[in-house]
């Protein structure tokens, strides 16, 4: 489950954590849709692309703090297929969400996000 700690809004209850090289490389490729209550967490990660994707997504770039909370450092609303996003300094995970979820949950830069079930790893260089 992913929750915005500022407003207690739930971003997703069905969360897939891509924390292995192959699962991060595959990401959402080959999927036809990301359902409203789902998310993909790429960890560790600080740069993404939407090449070969079939749908638009929202993205959060987040930085893990010492309390195992993730601070939102960059947001992308309505990221279309076939785009490359630059490296986001300070981010060590990316949360990919259904299009419109950031607006629906009032999630913004500097919010803190809790991702239940994610274990701490080495930061992205």
Where helices occur in the chain by DSSP H, the ranges are 21-26, 101-104
Contacts of 40 (CB under 8 A, 6+ apart): 15, 16, 18, 27, 28, 34, 95, 96
Give which of 57, 51, 64 is closest to 93, Cα–Cα: 64
Q: What is d(CA 21, CA 35) in angstroms, rounded to the nearest whole number?
A: 24
Q: What is the pLDDT of residues 43-56, one digit of tens each?
A: 999 999 999 888 99
CA distance 38 to 11: 8
Q: Over the stretch 97-123, which tens digit does the pLDDT of each residue have?
A: 999 999 999 999 999 999 887 665 544
Query: Residue 122 and residue 80: Cα distance in Å, rounded?
Result: 30
pLDDT value of position 68: 77
Greater confidence (10 vs 31) lies with 10
Instruction: Give the per-residue pLDDT at 69.
Output: 85
Confidence of residue 32 (pLDDT cuts 50, 70, 90): confident
Q: What is the pLDDT of residue 123?
A: 46
Cα separation, 25 vs 99, whole angstroms = 21
pTM of the model: 0.88
Q: What integer is the mean pLDDT of 66-94?
A: 94
Residue 82 buriedness (CB in 10 A; 0-12 / 13-18 / 19+) = exposed
């Amino acid at each position: 489950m992913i929750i915005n700690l500022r407003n207690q809004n739930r971003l997703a209850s069905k969360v897939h954590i891509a924390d292995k090289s192959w699962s991060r490389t595959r990401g959402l490729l080959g999927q036809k849709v990301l359902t409203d209550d789902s998310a993909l967490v790429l960890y560790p990660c600080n740069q993404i692309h939407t090449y070969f994707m079939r749908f638009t997504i929202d993205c959060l770039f987040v930085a893990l703090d010492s309390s195992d909370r993730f601070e939102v450092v960059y947001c992308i609303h309505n990221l279309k297929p076939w785009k490359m996003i630059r490296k986001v300094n300070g981010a060590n995970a990316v949360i990919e969400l259904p299009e419109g979820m950031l607006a629906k949950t009032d999630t913004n830069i500097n919010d803190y996000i809790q991702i239940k079930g994610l274990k701490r790893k080495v930061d992205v260089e």
